[in-house]
Amino acid sequence: MKELAYLNKFFLKYRWRLVPGVLFVIISNIFAVLPAQVIRVAFDLVTENIGVFQLFAGFNRQSIIYDIFGSSLMLFGILVLILALLRGLFLFFMRQTIILMSRHIEFDLKNEIYNHYQQLSLAFYRRHNTGDLMNRVTEDVSRVRMYLGPGIMYTINTVILFILVIYAMLRVNVTLAIFSVLPLPILAVIIFYVNDVINFRSEQIQQRLSILSSFVQENFSGIRVIKSYVREKFVRKTFADESETYKGHSMAMVKVQAMFYPLMLLLVGLSNVITMYIGGIEVMKGNITPGNIAEFIVYLNMLTFPVIALGWVTSLIQRAAASQKRINEFLHQKSEIISPAAPAQTIAGKIEFRDISFIYPDTGIKALKNVSFTANPGQMIAIIGRTGSGKSTVANLILRMYDTVTGQILIDGTPVDQLNLDDYRSQIGFVAQEVFLFSDTISRNIAFSADVMDMPKVEQAAKNAAVYNNIMELENGFDTLIGERGVTLSGGQKQRVSIARAIVKQPQVLIFDDCLSAVDTRTEEEILNNLGNIMQGKTSIIISHRISTIKNADKILVMDNGEIVEQGTHNQLLNLKSAYFELYEKQLLEEEESV
Ligand SMILES: Nc1ncnc2c1ncn2[C@@H]1O[C@H](COP(=O)(O)OP(=O)(O)OP(=O)(O)O)[C@@H](O)[C@H]1O
């Protein structure tokens, strides 16, 4: 429960909604209790005057009595109506304040979590799956809101109503009051436990549903593979099995609900019967009037909903506490990568790795071993090596996605962890190995790093990335939507759009992580030539598997198993007649074979 204390700051923030809200709850409940007393008076009026009315049977006076009798009853009716209207009005105000407050807090909390997520490191995202992250912002926040809004509202409502009704009942007759509310605690306990069962089952249903939707989503995305391997029948069967399990859980839920409602009505009915029985005895003893029985029946029915709400709210608060615990877990996580409060500065682009060894914190894989190299501004440094040799890790470390424990990375002579991170990263153009484009227009994808769209710059970047002509061939040109709801670009086109995105901001350091693999050698040469012009005086790091991509680099680092095994220019490395030379020979052979 202490987890929910985190939300108290929001109550303070929205106190001018909460305080009037509580007042409205109290007022609306007063108007809810008063009609019962009016009904009692009206009921007694009927029972008392019915005798007088019969006494005047056959006299003219009888119709006069009837008229007086009828108009006073009408007056009572109107009074009950006015009280109900006033109650409704204050219920409206109550919802307008408390439920509105919960929506405001929901909005604040979502933004707070999202902002915090943005600050967390890449390692955090590796440790948690996307579904889990999303659930905490959506599902868990919704549950917390149920506590902030309906939870609080019904709790205050129940407490106030209970105090008012029980007080009114006790004032009439203590014995009758005790007997008539006797079944209600049983009802509250049953509702609490049944709610637990319902929550447990609905969680199971939710889990099955998310398994089912992930299954469907993955199969729709991989439909090409399914069709080419003719696995439709198999997938259909798996889907049917999964649906069957989901159906089973839903049926179990229906059974619980089907038993729950009649049981609830039975207990409420029992209360009414007890009231009438004990009330009848009390009337015969002359302790109460028949109007009091009618008054009690109204009270009891007024208490039924709060009692149900009590059980419901208790389990709702429990669920909210569990959800807030999950939210707090992430909110209290600090990013491993912290930016110092250093001033922004333009970097020249000198990158120095001094004896860097790096182990990925979550897997324990030693990705780099004593790596040392220097990249000077104006140089193009290439990294080549077998898959898994640590090339992308070098890029990750330059971007300070992770911090190293041993060795030092210096940028223009300053340790990378002493630079203002946002400012530093904004001067790096990075093209990742796995292309990721947003479901948006091509122009907005290219101009992603800029706050304002500068079309001439976007077009120039597209020209430099050798993708301009491809874009212009599309019907809507740069305004073409790409991604799920738009045009599907080819692998090479996507790579080049992501290259344009990196160069549009004219970075001081450019990192290409194997992002020319789907581009033919002629286009690749064109892009590299353009880069030579754009990156004059700046630093480029090109990671590749193909020697043709990197042969003109100022320095080539050959990596194997996390180590730099050779470094030098293309010719120097060929002369070594070792790892690089072997790779060169192999690729030459492959090229000849493919011609
Ligand atoms: N985020 C990560 N978390 C944990 N381990 C990782 C992570 N990224 C890479 N590794 C591991 O570190 C090692 C080096 O990987 P890296 O991606 O740097 O290789 P690479 O040379 O770029 O390979 P490729 O050419 O196939 O892209 C691999 O064994 C890999 O499994």
Note the pLDDT tens digit of each residue in 449-504.
887 778 999 999 999 999 999 999 988 899 988 876 566 788 888 999 999 999 99
Tell me how far apart the alpha carbons of residues 535 and 101 are, in angstroms, rounded to a whole number. Answer: 53
How many Å is the Cα radius of gyration of the chain? Answer: 37
Tell me how far apart the alpha carbons of residues 318 and 190 are, in angstroms, rounded to a whole number. Answer: 16
Which pair of structure tokens corresponds to residue 267?
């207990």
How far does the centroid of ligand 1 lie from the alpha carbon of residue 545, in Å? 14
Tell me how far apart the alpha carbons of residues 299 and 39 are, in angstroms, rounded to a whole number. Answer: 11
**Bridge partner residues of 509 (DSSP):** 428, 539
Sequential DSSP letters for 117-180 = HHHS-HHHHHHS-HHHHHHHHTHHHHHHHHIIIIIHHHHHHHHHHHHHHHHHHHHH-HHHHHHH
Phi/psi at 74 (5° precision): -60, -40
Contact present, 437 and 484 (Cβ < 8 Å)? no
Predicted local distance difference test score (pLDDT) of residue 519: 80
Residue ID of nearest Cα to ligand 1 atom 3: 360
Residue ID of nearest Cα to ligand 1 atom 25: 387
Phi/psi at 355 (5° precision): 50, 50
Which of 183, 191, 170, 162 has its CA nearest to residue 273?
183
Q: Which residue has the higher pLDDT, 529 or 13?
A: 13
Percent of the chain with pLDDT over 70: 99
Predicted local distance difference test score (pLDDT) of residue 270: 85
pLDDT at 295 over 90: no
Tell me how far apart the alpha carbons of residues 20 and 7 are, in angstroms, rounded to a whole number. Answer: 19
pLDDT at 47 over 80: no
| Residue 509 identity | V
Tell me how far apart the alpha carbons of residues 296 and 179 are, in angstroms, rounded to a whole number. Answer: 11
Please report which residue ranges of 535-568 form alpha helices under DSSP H: 547-550
| Residue 218: CB atoms within 10 Å | 12
CATH, domain range 351-594: 3.40.50.300
Q: How far is CA 326 from the centre of its chain?
A: 12
**Ligand 1 atom nearest to CA at 363:** 4
How far does the centroid of ligand 1 lie from the alpha carbon of residue 252, in Å? 46
Residue ID of nearest Cα to ligand 1 atom 29: 388
Q: How far is CA 231 from the centre of its chain?
A: 34
Predicted local distance difference test score (pLDDT) of residue 595: 58
Tell me how far apart the alpha carbons of residues 527 and 548 are, in angstroms, rounded to a whole number. Answer: 13
How far does the centroid of ligand 1 lie from the alpha carbon of residue 368, in Å? 10
pLDDT at 576 over 80: yes
How far does the centroid of ligand 1 lie from the alpha carbon of residue 114, in Å? 28
Range of lowest pLDDT (89-103, 130-144, 194-208, 231-245): 194-208
Predicted local distance difference test score (pLDDT) of residue 594: 63
pLDDT at 296 over 80: yes
Instruction: Count CA within 13 A, CB hemisphere, residue 196.
Output: 7
Which pair of structure tokens corresponds to residue 442?
């091509």
User: What residues contact 49, with CB distance under 8 A and at least 6 apart?
Assistant: 65, 69
How far does the centroid of ligand 1 lie from the alpha carbon of residue 396, in Å? 10
| Residue 257: CB atoms within 10 Å | 12
Across the chain, which distance is largest between two alpha carbons, in Å? 134
How far does the centroid of ligand 1 lie from the alpha carbon of residue 358, in Å? 11
Which of 130, 122, 117 has its CA nearest to residue 397?
122
Contact present, 253 and 195 (Cβ < 8 Å)? no
Phi/psi at 254 (5° precision): -60, -40
**Ligand 1 atom nearest to CA at 395:** 18
- Residue 364 backbone class (left: φ over 0; alpha: ψ -120 to 50; beta: rest): left
Into which CATH architecture does domain 10-202+260-331 fall?
Up-down Bundle (1.20)
The mean of the pLDDT values for the chain is 87
Predicted local distance difference test score (pLDDT) of residue 17: 92
pLDDT at 506 over 80: yes
Question: Which pLDDT tens digit goes with each residue over 66-96?
Answer: 787 788 888 888 998 999 999 999 999 999 9
Question: Which pLDDT tens digit goes with each residue over 548-571?
Answer: 888 889 999 999 999 999 999 999
- Domain boundaries, given as residue ranges, for the chain: 10-202+260-331, 351-594
Which pair of structure tokens corresponds to residue 474?
């599309």
Tell me how far apart the alpha carbons of residues 464 and 579 are, in angstroms, rounded to a whole number. Answer: 33
Which of 409, 449, 393, 446 has its CA nearest to residue 126?
393
Fold match flag (10-202+260-331 vs 351-594): no
pLDDT at 1 over 80: no
Instruction: Count CA within 13 A, CB hemisphere, residue 506.
Output: 9
ipTM of the complex: 0.95
Predicted local distance difference test score (pLDDT) of residue 203: 79
Contact present, 443 and 458 (Cβ < 8 Å)? yes
Q: How far is CA 257 from the centre of its chain?
A: 29
Instruction: Count CA within 13 A, CB hemisphere, residue 42.
Output: 19
Q: Which residue has the higher pLDDT, 395 or 73?
A: 395
Percent of the chain with pLDDT over 90: 38
Predicted local distance difference test score (pLDDT) of residue 356: 93
Predicted local distance difference test score (pLDDT) of residue 260: 80
Contact present, 323 and 143 (Cβ < 8 Å)? yes
Tell me how far apart the alpha carbons of residues 567 and 382 are, in angstroms, rounded to a whole number. Answer: 10
Contact present, 468 and 462 (Cβ < 8 Å)? yes
| Residue 580 identity | Y
What mean pLDDT comes out for the span 200-214?
Answer: 80
CB within 6 Å of ligand 1 — which residues? 126, 360, 362-363, 365, 367, 385, 387-393, 433, 514
